[in-house]
Structure 1
Amino acid sequence: MKIVFTDLDGTLLDHETYSLEPARPALEALKARGIPIVLASSKTEAEMRPIAADIGINDPMIVENGAGIVGLSEDNAEDTYERLRATLAAMPPDLRAKFEGFGDWSDDVVAEKTGMRIEAARLARQRRFSEPGLWSGSEAEREAFRAHLRDNGFQAVQGGRFFTLMPQTSKADAMKRVAAFFRQKTGGPIFTIALGDAPNDAAMLQAADKGFIIANPAHAPLEESQREREGHIIRSEKPGPSGWNDMILQLLA
Protein backbone atom coordinates (compact mmCIF):
# COMPACT_ATOMS: atom_id res chain seq x y z
CA MET A 1 0.00 0.00 0.00
CA LYS A 2 1.26 3.46 -0.91
CA ILE A 3 0.70 6.54 1.28
CA VAL A 4 1.52 10.11 0.25
CA PHE A 5 2.71 12.53 2.95
CA THR A 6 2.83 16.14 1.83
CA ASP A 7 3.83 19.50 3.20
CA LEU A 8 1.50 22.36 2.31
CA ASP A 9 2.96 25.89 2.01
CA GLY A 10 5.39 26.05 -0.91
CA THR A 11 4.79 22.38 -1.73
CA LEU A 12 1.15 21.47 -2.42
CA LEU A 13 0.10 25.10 -2.01
CA ASP A 14 1.57 27.86 -4.18
CA HIS A 15 3.99 30.08 -2.23
CA GLU A 16 2.26 33.28 -3.34
CA THR A 17 -1.39 32.41 -4.02
CA TYR A 18 -1.85 29.39 -1.69
CA SER A 19 -3.71 27.68 -4.55
CA LEU A 20 -3.43 23.92 -5.10
CA GLU A 21 -5.22 23.90 -8.47
CA PRO A 22 -2.14 22.98 -10.57
CA ALA A 23 -1.90 19.77 -8.49
CA ARG A 24 -5.54 18.80 -9.01
CA PRO A 25 -4.86 16.15 -11.74
CA ALA A 26 -2.40 14.29 -9.51
CA LEU A 27 -4.67 14.61 -6.46
CA GLU A 28 -7.56 13.10 -8.41
CA ALA A 29 -5.32 10.32 -9.72
CA LEU A 30 -4.30 9.42 -6.16
CA LYS A 31 -7.89 9.42 -4.96
CA ALA A 32 -8.97 7.25 -7.90
CA ARG A 33 -6.36 4.66 -6.86
CA GLY A 34 -7.37 4.78 -3.19
CA ILE A 35 -3.98 6.12 -2.10
CA PRO A 36 -4.24 8.05 1.20
CA ILE A 37 -3.06 11.67 1.12
CA VAL A 38 -1.73 12.70 4.53
CA LEU A 39 -1.29 16.46 4.89
CA ALA A 40 1.77 17.29 7.03
CA SER A 41 2.12 20.95 7.97
CA SER A 42 2.99 23.48 10.63
CA LYS A 43 -0.64 24.59 10.39
CA THR A 44 -3.27 23.68 12.99
CA GLU A 45 -6.04 21.20 12.39
CA ALA A 46 -8.49 24.11 12.15
CA GLU A 47 -6.41 25.63 9.33
CA MET A 48 -6.00 22.31 7.51
CA ARG A 49 -9.59 21.03 7.57
CA PRO A 50 -10.76 23.41 4.79
CA ILE A 51 -7.80 22.33 2.63
CA ALA A 52 -8.63 18.64 3.14
CA ALA A 53 -12.27 19.38 2.30
CA ASP A 54 -11.23 21.17 -0.88
CA ILE A 55 -9.17 18.12 -1.92
CA GLY A 56 -12.00 15.81 -0.92
CA ILE A 57 -10.11 13.63 1.56
CA ASN A 58 -10.67 12.47 5.12
CA ASP A 59 -7.29 10.89 5.80
CA PRO A 60 -5.20 11.38 8.98
CA MET A 61 -3.30 14.68 9.17
CA ILE A 62 0.06 15.56 10.72
CA VAL A 63 -0.46 18.96 12.31
CA GLU A 64 1.59 21.69 13.98
CA ASN A 65 4.90 20.61 12.42
CA GLY A 66 4.60 17.02 13.59
CA ALA A 67 3.62 17.90 17.17
CA GLY A 68 0.34 16.01 16.74
CA ILE A 69 -1.63 13.64 14.52
CA VAL A 70 -5.38 13.82 14.04
CA GLY A 71 -7.62 11.20 12.50
CA LEU A 72 -5.95 7.99 13.66
CA SER A 73 -8.16 7.21 16.65
CA GLU A 74 -10.00 8.98 19.44
CA ASP A 75 -7.24 8.29 21.95
CA ASN A 76 -4.97 10.69 20.03
CA ALA A 77 -6.98 13.63 21.42
CA GLU A 78 -4.41 14.42 24.09
CA ASP A 79 -4.16 17.33 26.51
CA THR A 80 -0.75 18.25 25.07
CA TYR A 81 -1.43 21.98 24.72
CA GLU A 82 -2.78 22.26 28.25
CA ARG A 83 0.32 20.48 29.62
CA LEU A 84 2.54 22.77 27.57
CA ARG A 85 0.85 25.89 28.89
CA ALA A 86 1.04 24.48 32.43
CA THR A 87 4.78 23.91 31.94
CA LEU A 88 5.13 27.57 30.95
CA ALA A 89 3.13 28.71 33.97
CA ALA A 90 5.37 26.68 36.31
CA MET A 91 8.58 28.34 35.10
CA PRO A 92 10.34 30.99 37.18
CA PRO A 93 8.51 34.27 36.41
CA ASP A 94 11.59 36.07 35.09
CA LEU A 95 12.22 33.22 32.61
CA ARG A 96 8.57 32.89 31.63
CA ALA A 97 8.44 36.62 30.87
CA LYS A 98 11.01 36.19 28.07
CA PHE A 99 8.58 34.16 25.92
CA GLU A 100 5.28 35.30 24.41
CA GLY A 101 3.21 32.82 22.42
CA PHE A 102 0.00 32.60 20.44
CA GLY A 103 -1.80 31.66 23.66
CA ASP A 104 -0.72 34.98 25.19
CA TRP A 105 -1.92 37.03 22.23
CA SER A 106 -5.31 37.99 20.82
CA ASP A 107 -6.39 37.25 17.25
CA ASP A 108 -5.50 40.85 16.37
CA VAL A 109 -1.97 40.53 17.74
CA VAL A 110 -1.36 37.21 15.96
CA ALA A 111 -2.62 38.79 12.72
CA GLU A 112 -0.26 41.73 13.20
CA LYS A 113 2.79 39.59 13.98
CA THR A 114 2.19 37.03 11.20
CA GLY A 115 0.64 39.17 8.45
CA MET A 116 -2.44 36.91 8.45
CA ARG A 117 -5.99 38.08 8.10
CA ILE A 118 -8.04 38.03 11.31
CA GLU A 119 -9.97 34.89 10.35
CA ALA A 120 -6.75 33.03 9.51
CA ALA A 121 -5.21 34.20 12.80
CA ARG A 122 -8.22 32.87 14.69
CA LEU A 123 -7.73 29.43 13.13
CA ALA A 124 -3.98 29.53 13.82
CA ARG A 125 -4.69 30.16 17.52
CA GLN A 126 -6.79 26.98 17.79
CA ARG A 127 -3.80 24.99 18.95
CA ARG A 128 -3.72 21.48 20.40
CA PHE A 129 -0.08 20.41 20.40
CA SER A 130 2.40 23.31 20.09
CA GLU A 131 2.96 26.99 20.87
CA PRO A 132 4.75 29.33 18.44
CA GLY A 133 6.00 32.58 19.89
CA LEU A 134 8.80 35.08 20.22
CA TRP A 135 11.84 34.94 22.49
CA SER A 136 13.28 38.13 24.00
CA GLY A 137 15.89 36.84 26.46
CA SER A 138 19.60 36.12 26.31
CA GLU A 139 21.16 32.92 24.97
CA ALA A 140 21.91 31.75 28.52
CA GLU A 141 18.27 32.32 29.48
CA ARG A 142 17.14 30.52 26.32
CA GLU A 143 19.15 27.43 27.32
CA ALA A 144 17.64 27.50 30.81
CA PHE A 145 14.21 27.83 29.21
CA ARG A 146 14.91 24.86 26.93
CA ALA A 147 16.18 22.77 29.84
CA HIS A 148 12.95 23.40 31.74
CA LEU A 149 10.97 22.30 28.69
CA ARG A 150 13.09 19.15 28.23
CA ASP A 151 12.52 18.17 31.85
CA ASN A 152 8.79 18.19 31.08
CA GLY A 153 8.95 16.29 27.78
CA PHE A 154 8.94 19.27 25.41
CA GLN A 155 11.40 20.99 23.08
CA ALA A 156 11.82 24.45 21.56
CA VAL A 157 12.59 24.80 17.86
CA GLN A 158 13.68 28.07 16.29
CA GLY A 159 12.08 28.62 12.88
CA GLY A 160 12.46 31.45 10.42
CA ARG A 161 10.33 33.76 12.55
CA PHE A 162 8.94 31.96 15.55
CA PHE A 163 10.36 30.04 18.50
CA THR A 164 8.01 27.03 18.70
CA LEU A 165 7.43 24.90 21.77
CA MET A 166 6.28 21.33 21.07
CA PRO A 167 6.62 17.68 22.16
CA GLN A 168 9.89 15.91 21.43
CA THR A 169 8.80 14.63 18.03
CA SER A 170 8.89 15.63 14.34
CA LYS A 171 7.11 15.24 11.01
CA ALA A 172 9.29 12.18 10.35
CA ASP A 173 8.28 10.57 13.65
CA ALA A 174 4.62 11.32 12.92
CA MET A 175 4.94 9.82 9.43
CA LYS A 176 6.26 6.58 10.95
CA ARG A 177 3.33 6.46 13.37
CA VAL A 178 0.80 6.95 10.57
CA ALA A 179 2.52 4.29 8.45
CA ALA A 180 2.44 1.86 11.40
CA PHE A 181 -1.28 2.56 11.83
CA PHE A 182 -1.99 1.66 8.20
CA ARG A 183 0.32 -1.36 8.36
CA GLN A 184 -1.62 -2.71 11.32
CA LYS A 185 -4.94 -1.86 9.66
CA THR A 186 -4.16 -3.52 6.32
CA GLY A 187 -1.75 -6.23 7.42
CA GLY A 188 0.47 -5.54 4.43
CA PRO A 189 3.65 -3.59 3.60
CA ILE A 190 3.53 0.21 3.39
CA PHE A 191 5.42 2.32 0.83
CA THR A 192 5.79 5.91 2.03
CA ILE A 193 6.06 8.86 -0.35
CA ALA A 194 6.95 12.31 1.02
CA LEU A 195 6.93 15.73 -0.63
CA GLY A 196 8.36 18.91 0.88
CA ASP A 197 10.35 22.03 0.14
CA ALA A 198 11.92 23.31 3.36
CA PRO A 199 14.37 22.31 6.12
CA ASN A 200 11.55 21.22 8.43
CA ASP A 201 10.59 18.65 5.77
CA ALA A 202 14.11 17.22 5.40
CA ALA A 203 13.82 14.46 8.02
CA MET A 204 10.48 13.33 6.59
CA LEU A 205 11.95 13.22 3.08
CA GLN A 206 14.92 11.20 4.35
CA ALA A 207 12.72 8.72 6.22
CA ALA A 208 10.32 8.08 3.33
CA ASP A 209 10.74 5.22 0.86
CA LYS A 210 10.54 7.86 -1.89
CA GLY A 211 11.04 11.57 -1.38
CA PHE A 212 10.40 14.55 -3.64
CA ILE A 213 11.93 17.94 -3.00
CA ILE A 214 9.62 20.52 -4.53
CA ALA A 215 11.37 23.57 -5.95
CA ASN A 216 10.72 26.82 -4.09
CA PRO A 217 12.55 29.90 -5.39
CA ALA A 218 11.60 31.81 -2.23
CA HIS A 219 14.37 30.15 -0.23
CA ALA A 220 17.67 28.32 -0.67
CA PRO A 221 17.32 24.71 -1.90
CA LEU A 222 17.86 21.83 0.49
CA GLU A 223 21.35 20.35 0.50
CA GLU A 224 21.93 17.15 -1.44
CA SER A 225 21.91 14.05 0.78
CA GLN A 226 23.25 10.53 0.35
CA ARG A 227 19.71 9.23 -0.23
CA GLU A 228 19.29 11.73 -3.04
CA ARG A 229 22.57 10.61 -4.59
CA GLU A 230 21.27 7.03 -4.39
CA GLY A 231 18.08 8.01 -6.24
CA HIS A 232 15.63 7.71 -3.35
CA ILE A 233 14.95 11.47 -3.42
CA ILE A 234 14.18 13.45 -6.58
CA ARG A 235 13.86 17.20 -7.15
CA SER A 236 11.09 18.80 -9.18
CA GLU A 237 11.91 21.34 -11.85
CA LYS A 238 8.69 23.30 -11.42
CA PRO A 239 7.83 24.96 -8.10
CA GLY A 240 4.89 24.41 -5.77
CA PRO A 241 1.78 22.55 -6.89
CA SER A 242 2.94 22.37 -10.51
CA GLY A 243 6.06 20.48 -9.43
CA TRP A 244 3.96 18.42 -7.02
CA ASN A 245 1.67 17.42 -9.87
CA ASP A 246 4.58 16.43 -12.13
CA MET A 247 6.28 14.31 -9.45
CA ILE A 248 3.16 12.38 -8.44
CA LEU A 249 2.07 11.70 -12.03
CA GLN A 250 5.62 10.57 -12.82
CA LEU A 251 5.53 8.22 -9.84
CA LEU A 252 2.13 6.78 -10.76
CA ALA A 253 3.24 6.24 -14.35
Structure 2
Amino acid sequence: MKVVFTDLDGTLLDHETYSLEPARPALEALKGRGIPIILASSKTEAEMRPIAADIGIEDPMIVENGAGIVGLPGAEGGETDTYQRLRAALEAMPPALRRKFQGFGDWNDEEVAEKTGMRLEAARLARQRQFSEPGLWSGSEDERAEFRARLKESGFQAVQGGRFFTLMPETSKADAMHRVAEAYREKMGEDVFTIALGDAPNDAAMLEAADKGFIIANPAHAPLAETAREREGHILRSDKAGPSGWNDMILQLLA
Protein backbone atom coordinates (compact mmCIF):
# COMPACT_ATOMS: atom_id res chain seq x y z
CA MET A 1 0.00 0.00 0.00
CA LYS A 2 1.00 3.62 -0.51
CA VAL A 3 1.15 6.20 2.29
CA VAL A 4 1.75 9.91 1.66
CA PHE A 5 3.67 12.00 4.20
CA THR A 6 3.55 15.73 3.61
CA ASP A 7 4.98 18.87 5.11
CA LEU A 8 2.56 21.80 5.35
CA ASP A 9 4.05 25.32 5.25
CA GLY A 10 5.57 26.01 1.84
CA THR A 11 4.62 22.52 0.63
CA LEU A 12 0.91 21.66 0.88
CA LEU A 13 0.15 25.17 2.19
CA ASP A 14 1.09 28.32 0.27
CA HIS A 15 4.05 30.09 1.89
CA GLU A 16 2.24 33.43 2.04
CA THR A 17 -1.49 32.69 2.20
CA TYR A 18 -1.48 29.27 3.95
CA SER A 19 -4.05 28.10 1.39
CA LEU A 20 -4.11 24.49 0.13
CA GLU A 21 -6.79 25.00 -2.53
CA PRO A 22 -4.52 24.45 -5.58
CA ALA A 23 -3.78 20.96 -4.21
CA ARG A 24 -7.43 20.00 -3.82
CA PRO A 25 -7.61 17.82 -6.99
CA ALA A 26 -4.67 15.68 -5.88
CA LEU A 27 -5.97 15.45 -2.31
CA GLU A 28 -9.32 14.21 -3.59
CA ALA A 29 -7.58 11.73 -5.89
CA LEU A 30 -5.62 10.28 -2.95
CA LYS A 31 -8.73 10.03 -0.80
CA GLY A 32 -10.61 8.37 -3.66
CA ARG A 33 -7.95 5.67 -3.80
CA GLY A 34 -7.92 5.17 -0.05
CA ILE A 35 -4.31 6.35 0.28
CA PRO A 36 -3.58 7.72 3.79
CA ILE A 37 -2.40 11.34 3.92
CA ILE A 38 -0.12 11.87 6.91
CA LEU A 39 0.38 15.54 7.72
CA ALA A 40 3.96 15.99 8.98
CA SER A 41 4.63 19.50 10.18
CA SER A 42 6.32 21.75 12.69
CA LYS A 43 2.78 22.86 13.57
CA THR A 44 1.04 21.85 16.79
CA GLU A 45 -1.76 19.33 17.00
CA ALA A 46 -4.13 22.23 17.76
CA GLU A 47 -3.14 23.92 14.48
CA MET A 48 -3.28 20.77 12.38
CA ARG A 49 -6.70 19.52 13.42
CA PRO A 50 -8.58 22.18 11.40
CA ILE A 51 -6.37 21.50 8.35
CA ALA A 52 -7.09 17.77 8.53
CA ALA A 53 -10.80 18.54 8.89
CA ASP A 54 -10.66 20.84 5.84
CA ILE A 55 -9.04 18.07 3.79
CA GLY A 56 -11.54 15.57 5.17
CA ILE A 57 -9.08 13.08 6.67
CA GLU A 58 -8.72 11.36 10.03
CA ASP A 59 -5.31 9.82 9.42
CA PRO A 60 -2.51 9.97 12.01
CA MET A 61 -0.48 13.18 12.14
CA ILE A 62 3.20 13.85 12.80
CA VAL A 63 3.32 17.04 14.86
CA GLU A 64 6.00 19.54 15.86
CA ASN A 65 8.71 18.29 13.48
CA GLY A 66 8.32 14.64 14.46
CA ALA A 67 8.47 15.18 18.21
CA GLY A 68 4.97 13.72 18.53
CA ILE A 69 2.59 11.41 16.66
CA VAL A 70 -1.14 11.71 17.25
CA GLY A 71 -3.97 9.45 16.14
CA LEU A 72 -1.84 6.31 15.77
CA PRO A 73 -2.92 3.43 18.05
CA GLY A 74 -0.01 2.31 20.19
CA ALA A 75 2.21 5.28 19.29
CA GLU A 76 3.54 7.37 22.11
CA GLY A 77 3.35 11.10 21.60
CA GLY A 78 6.31 11.86 23.83
CA GLU A 79 6.77 12.86 27.43
CA THR A 80 4.18 15.23 28.84
CA ASP A 81 6.85 17.58 30.21
CA THR A 82 8.95 17.87 27.05
CA TYR A 83 8.10 21.52 26.40
CA GLN A 84 8.75 22.51 30.00
CA ARG A 85 12.17 20.82 29.93
CA LEU A 86 12.97 22.51 26.64
CA ARG A 87 12.13 25.96 28.00
CA ALA A 88 14.22 25.25 31.10
CA ALA A 89 17.22 24.38 28.90
CA LEU A 90 16.70 27.61 26.99
CA GLU A 91 16.60 29.72 30.14
CA ALA A 92 19.79 28.04 31.37
CA MET A 93 21.74 29.51 28.44
CA PRO A 94 24.21 32.35 29.09
CA PRO A 95 22.14 35.57 28.90
CA ALA A 96 24.07 36.96 25.90
CA LEU A 97 23.41 33.74 23.94
CA ARG A 98 19.83 33.40 25.16
CA ARG A 99 18.98 36.82 23.74
CA LYS A 100 19.91 35.64 20.22
CA PHE A 101 16.88 33.34 20.14
CA GLN A 102 13.27 34.44 20.49
CA GLY A 103 10.56 31.80 20.30
CA PHE A 104 6.81 31.44 20.42
CA GLY A 105 7.00 31.16 24.20
CA ASP A 106 8.64 34.61 24.34
CA TRP A 107 5.91 36.24 22.22
CA ASN A 108 2.23 36.82 22.85
CA ASP A 109 -0.53 35.83 20.41
CA GLU A 110 -0.39 39.20 18.64
CA GLU A 111 3.38 39.01 18.13
CA VAL A 112 3.21 35.46 16.76
CA ALA A 113 0.46 36.59 14.37
CA GLU A 114 2.60 39.50 13.19
CA LYS A 115 5.75 37.43 12.65
CA THR A 116 4.02 34.55 10.89
CA GLY A 117 1.27 36.34 8.97
CA MET A 118 -1.30 34.17 10.72
CA ARG A 119 -4.66 35.34 11.92
CA LEU A 120 -4.86 35.89 15.66
CA GLU A 121 -6.81 32.69 16.34
CA ALA A 122 -4.30 30.63 14.34
CA ALA A 123 -1.45 32.22 16.29
CA ARG A 124 -3.15 31.22 19.55
CA LEU A 125 -3.24 27.61 18.37
CA ALA A 126 0.42 27.80 17.28
CA ARG A 127 1.43 28.76 20.80
CA GLN A 128 -0.10 25.58 22.26
CA ARG A 129 3.26 23.84 22.27
CA GLN A 130 3.79 20.31 23.59
CA PHE A 131 7.16 19.23 22.24
CA SER A 132 9.06 22.00 20.42
CA GLU A 133 9.76 25.73 20.21
CA PRO A 134 9.96 27.56 16.86
CA GLY A 135 11.65 30.93 16.84
CA LEU A 136 13.97 33.33 15.10
CA TRP A 137 17.76 33.39 15.37
CA SER A 138 19.58 36.74 15.34
CA GLY A 139 23.15 35.74 16.20
CA SER A 140 26.20 34.76 14.18
CA GLU A 141 26.88 31.27 12.84
CA ASP A 142 29.54 30.74 15.54
CA GLU A 143 27.01 31.67 18.20
CA ARG A 144 24.47 29.36 16.58
CA ALA A 145 26.97 26.49 16.83
CA GLU A 146 27.51 27.20 20.54
CA PHE A 147 23.75 27.44 21.06
CA ARG A 148 23.23 24.06 19.39
CA ALA A 149 26.03 22.45 21.42
CA ARG A 150 24.48 23.63 24.69
CA LEU A 151 21.06 22.38 23.62
CA LYS A 152 22.54 18.98 22.79
CA GLU A 153 23.89 18.69 26.33
CA SER A 154 20.28 18.88 27.50
CA GLY A 155 19.06 16.30 24.98
CA PHE A 156 17.63 18.74 22.43
CA GLN A 157 18.49 19.93 18.93
CA ALA A 158 17.77 22.95 16.73
CA VAL A 159 16.49 22.48 13.16
CA GLN A 160 16.30 25.25 10.54
CA GLY A 161 13.02 25.17 8.65
CA GLY A 162 11.84 27.33 5.78
CA ARG A 163 10.95 30.17 8.12
CA PHE A 164 11.80 29.31 11.73
CA PHE A 165 14.67 27.90 13.78
CA THR A 166 12.97 25.15 15.83
CA LEU A 167 14.18 23.66 19.10
CA MET A 168 13.04 20.08 19.76
CA PRO A 169 14.04 16.64 21.08
CA GLU A 170 16.62 14.68 19.11
CA THR A 171 14.18 13.06 16.71
CA SER A 172 12.93 13.90 13.23
CA LYS A 173 10.05 13.65 10.79
CA ALA A 174 11.93 10.72 9.22
CA ASP A 175 11.94 8.80 12.52
CA ALA A 176 8.22 9.44 12.94
CA MET A 177 7.55 8.44 9.31
CA HIS A 178 9.21 5.07 9.94
CA ARG A 179 7.05 4.53 13.04
CA VAL A 180 3.84 5.36 11.19
CA ALA A 181 4.79 3.19 8.20
CA GLU A 182 5.58 0.26 10.50
CA ALA A 183 2.20 0.65 12.20
CA TYR A 184 0.48 0.46 8.80
CA ARG A 185 2.55 -2.60 7.83
CA GLU A 186 1.43 -4.38 10.99
CA LYS A 187 -2.19 -3.28 10.59
CA MET A 188 -2.54 -4.10 6.89
CA GLY A 189 -0.17 -7.04 6.70
CA GLU A 190 1.54 -5.74 3.58
CA ASP A 191 4.54 -3.67 2.55
CA VAL A 192 4.20 0.10 2.68
CA PHE A 193 5.49 2.35 -0.11
CA THR A 194 6.27 5.71 1.50
CA ILE A 195 5.88 8.98 -0.43
CA ALA A 196 7.19 12.20 1.12
CA LEU A 197 6.80 15.83 0.07
CA GLY A 198 8.66 18.79 1.55
CA ASP A 199 10.49 22.00 0.77
CA ALA A 200 12.90 22.85 3.59
CA PRO A 201 15.95 21.51 5.46
CA ASN A 202 13.78 20.03 8.21
CA ASP A 203 12.14 17.86 5.52
CA ALA A 204 15.40 16.57 4.03
CA ALA A 205 15.75 13.45 6.18
CA MET A 206 12.14 12.46 5.50
CA LEU A 207 12.59 12.96 1.76
CA GLU A 208 15.77 10.86 1.81
CA ALA A 209 14.18 8.06 3.82
CA ALA A 210 11.01 7.76 1.73
CA ASP A 211 10.66 5.32 -1.15
CA LYS A 212 9.74 8.34 -3.32
CA GLY A 213 10.43 11.94 -2.41
CA PHE A 214 9.25 15.21 -3.94
CA ILE A 215 10.97 18.52 -3.27
CA ILE A 216 8.38 21.25 -3.66
CA ALA A 217 9.73 24.53 -5.04
CA ASN A 218 9.71 27.45 -2.59
CA PRO A 219 11.16 30.73 -3.88
CA ALA A 220 11.21 32.13 -0.34
CA HIS A 221 14.42 30.24 0.49
CA ALA A 222 17.35 28.46 -1.16
CA PRO A 223 16.51 25.07 -2.69
CA LEU A 224 17.64 21.88 -1.01
CA ALA A 225 20.97 20.52 -2.20
CA GLU A 226 20.99 17.65 -4.67
CA THR A 227 21.77 14.25 -3.14
CA ALA A 228 22.65 10.81 -4.45
CA ARG A 229 19.04 9.70 -3.98
CA GLU A 230 17.91 12.49 -6.27
CA ARG A 231 20.54 11.66 -8.89
CA GLU A 232 19.31 8.06 -8.81
CA GLY A 233 15.76 9.22 -9.52
CA HIS A 234 14.21 8.49 -6.11
CA ILE A 235 13.60 12.21 -5.48
CA LEU A 236 12.01 14.62 -7.97
CA ARG A 237 11.48 18.39 -7.90
CA SER A 238 8.38 20.36 -8.78
CA ASP A 239 8.47 23.28 -11.18
CA LYS A 240 5.63 25.10 -9.45
CA ALA A 241 5.73 26.28 -5.85
CA GLY A 242 3.65 25.24 -2.85
CA PRO A 243 0.28 23.53 -3.30
CA SER A 244 0.35 23.95 -7.08
CA GLY A 245 3.61 21.98 -7.23
CA TRP A 246 2.23 19.49 -4.69
CA ASN A 247 -0.80 18.93 -6.89
CA ASP A 248 1.32 18.36 -9.99
CA MET A 249 3.67 15.88 -8.30
CA ILE A 250 0.91 13.77 -6.74
CA LEU A 251 -1.15 13.63 -9.93
CA GLN A 252 2.01 12.69 -11.85
CA LEU A 253 2.70 9.92 -9.36
CA LEU A 254 -0.84 8.55 -9.53
CA ALA A 255 -0.81 8.65 -13.32
For normalisation by structure 1, the TM-score amounts to 0.87
Distance of aligned partners of 1:213 and 1:140 in 2 relative to their CA distance in 1, 3 Å threshold: closer
Does residue 112 (structure 1) correspond to residue 121 (structure 2)? The answer is: no
Residue in structure 1 matched with residue 207 of structure 2 by the alignment: 205
Distance of aligned partners of 1:31 and 1:161 in 2 relative to their CA distance in 1, 3 Å threshold: closer
Residue in structure 2 matched with residue 246 of structure 1 by the alignment: 248
Could you tell me which amino acid in structure 2 is paired with residue 189 of structure 1?
Answer: D
Could you tell me which amino acid in structure 1 is paired with residue 206 of structure 2?
Answer: M
Distance of aligned partners of 1:140 and 1:193 in 2 relative to their CA distance in 1, 3 Å threshold: closer
Residue in structure 2 matched with residue 76 of structure 1 by the alignment: 77
Distance of aligned partners of 1:139 and 1:227 in 2 relative to their CA distance in 1, 3 Å threshold: closer
CA RMSD of aligned residues (A): 2.5
Distance 1:197 1:75 in 2: 27
Could you tell me which amino acid in structure 2 is paired with residue 58 of structure 1?
Answer: E
8 Å CA contact retained: 2:40, 2:65: yes
For normalisation by structure 2, the TM-score amounts to 0.86
Q: CA offset at residue 187 of structure 1?
A: 2.4
Q: How many pairs align?
A: 253
Alignment of 1:53-132 (within 5 A): 53-73=53-73, 75-76=76-77, 78-79=79-80, 80-89=82-91, 96=98, 99-132=101-134
Q: Which of the numbers 219, 229, 232 marks the counterpart of 2:231?
A: 229
8 Å CA contact retained: 2:161, 2:200: no
Q: CA offset at residue 107 of structure 1?
A: 1.2
8 Å CA contact retained: 2:3, 2:37: yes
Q: CA offset at residue 221 of structure 1?
A: 2.7
Distance of aligned partners of 1:232 and 1:90 in 2 relative to their CA distance in 1, 3 Å threshold: same
Distance of aligned partners of 1:220 and 1:87 in 2 relative to their CA distance in 1, 3 Å threshold: closer
Distance of aligned partners of 1:235 and 1:90 in 2 relative to their CA distance in 1, 3 Å threshold: closer
Percent of pairs with identical residues: 82
Distance of aligned partners of 1:96 and 1:243 in 2 relative to their CA distance in 1, 3 Å threshold: closer
8 Å CA contact retained: 2:9, 2:18: yes
Distance of aligned partners of 1:210 and 1:125 in 2 relative to their CA distance in 1, 3 Å threshold: same
Distance of aligned partners of 1:18 and 1:98 in 2 relative to their CA distance in 1, 3 Å threshold: closer
Q: Which range is displaced more, 164-173 or 73-82?
A: 73-82
Gap runs ≥5 in structure 2: none
Distance 1:161 1:23 in 2: 21
Gap runs ≥5 in structure 1: none
Distance of aligned partners of 1:140 and 1:195 in 2 relative to their CA distance in 1, 3 Å threshold: closer
Could you tell me which amino acid in structure 2 is paired with residue 228 of structure 1?
Answer: E
